[in-house]
Structure 1
């Protein structure tokens, strides 16, 4: 099977390409570095030509009010190119609970991306993942100040990037769902507690202070970012991921 991985050189994309290739598929990575620009449309017809499946792992360069325009333009361009090329399946990576946090510009933008895909001409699968383990350090950096890190107690169910990539690769070679597949890590943590665990594992002496007004996750209501009963649970536990990194 020939699979075009748009955004195939990034954190998830590079792992998806390796997984698909290891399983015997022809996985071709595309990005700006290979001459593909999803906003202008440059290179998209070439990237889509001959592909059975397109996997879109591109991301907005910002998390602000500019994000919706990026996802609208990029999805419209990708779907146009894919339809012209006869692509039979389109896969997008999204976020668990993305439609439940309208207060965040980026989440609204990702929800728009899903809507455009679902209304488009190509059979599709949306893989929604919980928060990546690899991003926890960045989340803490947003609200770090000297010797303290302020974090809300928002429930988080972190998942390893490799587990996300494995799920995306599996979706790419399967039949289109015409719907959503949720994936999540095996454990739920309050974000503030996850911060303490992370700092302790790195012998970081900073203190985490619980502050339910701190950072982007402060606007999240309840446990909407955790996997529910329909979510597939990935195998990697956070402590094991910390020990291995």
Structure 2
């Protein structure tokens, strides 16, 4: 009987030890699984966060660049161009005969009814050409040649160093029965106190001028169809 009880005790102890080892093994497995699951979850969240940041940054850059580039490249309106011209004229002094060199050339073909005045800025700085040239062709006619209002530009003419301005001038209708007089030189006065210059008439024999038909346009950057047709 004692022998039987001894075997039972040994078996019981062995069984308890095996059971304890089983519990330890199960507990270790659960811990590793939870740890692996937690790491996977953290990696997933981390990747998701990176993707989220990428989309936000991309969206921010796209909207910022698009709106900036789009708003900065528009063409200025006519009103803005005129306003800019007035600001430039306010900053640039009036041109004088010391700032510009005035010359005359025939315009069109025979009969030569028009000439073109060119005022080139030789001063080395910007200046503003005011209004129209005040022209006197003949000593016997002291009045200035009348200006054509439709040729007035929308904004003041500001000449940079080396730049020219133009004015179209009508001298006659080209008829043989006109009261034309030969002119080899004439005077041009710049408005605003710019002084007077003597200008040589174009052509070897000068030009034929009918004082009753003479007209002048305003100073402009270039001759314009329509506005300078008179």
TM-score after normalising by structure 1: 0.21
